Amino acid sequence: MKWLNFISHPTEKLQGEIIVPGDKSISHRSIIFGSIANGTSTITGFLDGEDCLATIKAFRSMGVAIEGPDKQTVVIHGVGKHGLKKPDQIIDCGNSGTSMRLLAGLLAAQNFDSELTGDESLLKRPMSRIAKPLTQMGASIGTDEGKPPILIKGGKQLVGIDYQMPEASAQVKSCVLLAGLYAKNHTSITETGVSRDHTERMLRTFAHPIAKSGTKIIVNAQSECKATDIQIPGDISSAAFFIVAASIIPGAQVLIRNVGINPTRIGILHILKRMGASIAIINERQFGEEPVADLQINYAPLTGIQIPEELVPLAIDEFPVLFVAAACAQGETTLHGAKELRVKESDRIGAMAEGLQILGIQNQVFEDGISITGGSLQGGEVNSRGDHRIAMAFAIAGAAASGPVTIKNCVNVATSFPTFVNTANALHLHVKDVIENER
């Protein structure tokens, strides 16, 4: 067996202009809605990472003709809401929790049986929080004690429910909304906190009615989705690594073009600005329903803060690299209210705490967060635990450290940012990928 590792060397120069790959959340949803729409949709700026390719493969197995991705362009020949066919195999979602949770909502309403599985990491992730509302709607959902694989018995007439979200989760919300597109009567979801709203925007993009009243979102099964063309903005979760790098490396000047600035996704900008970062949002515009801008980041000294809990859902995927920013800030940065980080592709709190400790940064771990005391990053060897965001976060740490940082087990970076190393080096970072035989 071979491992892919990164070696990240210190850099004294960080400047340039980049474009990051398309938004992963929006790329997933463009495939889902394009597949159940009537007509042909063309998607440009599509993220051709392994997670989104898993979603394409799933719909191809259900009879949807999908061309590409070719130069980040995908053409989907939609089959309509009731045109999906029984998959010709078990659907393998790979490492993609988004694929699994959103597909579960869609498949629960179909007239055929299906099964969703994934890789070793995904098989450890919780699925009870989607199984519960789907069961309330009349779906037949089986799990392995709340974990994948998910077995879905088709042919059930779903009934709309009024679902009170127990916690903010875009994946759970999206799962219920997709099931609601097929359910008898209306389905409503009341949010207890803000979560990313790409599904709601995508419904509008595909001309499907959706109502919102305060914190309540309402859909019904009366309408079809209409095919359309979509341009996908750059993923702010991918941009985050270089936003932080430019904020912590003296003299840095970086421009990142075409970044999605959906208000439910820009917690990282709010948090870094509170820490003293110099981030300018320029050239604001729209890619369809999604707001987009260019980001100009210049180095500025950071100061530790107490991260407001209301910003946690708006930055949930960016915390690994935000912890690197905290490691380089003066004083203490404290996070609470982020228990969800424990059940991502890895225990991200535990993985980052362990790695930062190895690199000389003191921290204290809580069940729902962490406190990090800023200091001087040292070189060393850390383990990403197979988590793409942990791997890339420590690659950024290596750029600001006093010596090289070796990051083990980085193959899953391909799930969200397959061009990460090339993009990093285009900005004068010094990141190498190294194939190692297992010892």
CA separation, residue 38 to residues 35, 224, 253 (Å): 8, 7, 45
Q: Quickly state the pLDDT bin for 88 (edges 50, 70, 90).
A: confident
408: pLDDT strictly greater than 60: yes
Helices 128-136 and 97-107, interaxial angle, to 10°?
A: 10
Share of the chain above pLDDT 70, in %: 99
Burial call 150-179: b when 16+ CB within 10 Å, e when fewer: bbbeeebebebbebebeebbbbbbbbbbbb
**Sign of dihedral through CA atoms 404, 276, 168, 286?**
negative
Q: Do residues 34 and 41 touch, judged by C-beta distance below 8 A?
A: yes
Query: For 212-240, how does the pLDDT look when each residue is reduced to its tens digit (9 = 90+)?
Result: 988 899 999 889 999 999 999 999 999 99
pLDDT of residue 287: 96
Q: Do residues 376 and 356 touch, judged by C-beta distance below 8 A?
A: no
Architecture of domain 24-231: Alpha-beta prism (3.65)
Q: Do residues 128 and 152 touch, judged by C-beta distance below 8 A?
A: no
Q: What is the mean pLDDT of residues 248-255?
A: 97
CA separation, residue 416 to residues 11, 28, 35, 41, 49 (Å): 24, 11, 21, 23, 5
pLDDT of residue 252: 97
Query: For 125-170, how does the pLDDT look when each residue is reduced to its tens digit (9 = 90+)?
Result: 999 999 999 999 999 999 999 999 999 999 999 999 999 999 888 9
Give the right CATH number for 2-22+233-437 from 2.60.120.10, 3.65.10.10, 3.40.50.1010, 3.40.50.1100: 3.65.10.10
250: pLDDT strictly greater than 70: yes
pLDDT of residue 343: 80
Whether the full predicted model's pTM is greater than 0.75, yes or no, is yes
Query: For 30-55, how does the pLDDT look when each residue is reduced to its tens digit (9 = 90+)?
Result: 999 999 999 999 999 999 999 999 99
Q: Kindly report the average pLDDT of the chain as a whole number.
A: 95
Given 23, 235, 317, 347, the catalytic residue: 317
Domain spans, the chain: 2-22+233-437, 24-231
**Sign of dihedral through CA atoms 275, 390, 309, 202?**
positive
pLDDT of residue 254: 98
396: pLDDT strictly greater than 60: yes
DSSP per-residue letters across 190-230: E-SS----HHHHHHHHTT---EEETTEEEE-SS--EE--EE
Active site residue 48: no
One-letter identity of residue 118: G
DSSP per-residue letters across 98-150: HHHHHHHHHHTTSSS-EEEE--TTGGGS--HHHHHHHHHTT-EEEEETTEEEE
Q: Let me know if 295 is exposed, middle or buried by CB neighbors in 10 A (0-12, 13-18, 19+).
A: buried
pLDDT of residue 169: 87
439: pLDDT strictly greater than 80: no
Domains 2-22+233-437 and 24-231 share a fold: yes
Q: Torsion-angle region of residue 80: left (phi > 0), alpha (psi -120 to 50) or beta? A: left
Query: For 351-377, how does the pLDDT look when each residue is reduced to its tens digit (9 = 90+)?
Result: 999 999 999 999 999 999 999 999 999
Query: For 263-303, how does the pLDDT look when each residue is reduced to its tens digit (9 = 90+)?
Result: 999 999 999 999 999 999 999 999 999 999 999 999 999 99
Residues forming beta bridges with residue 257, ordered by sequence position? 19
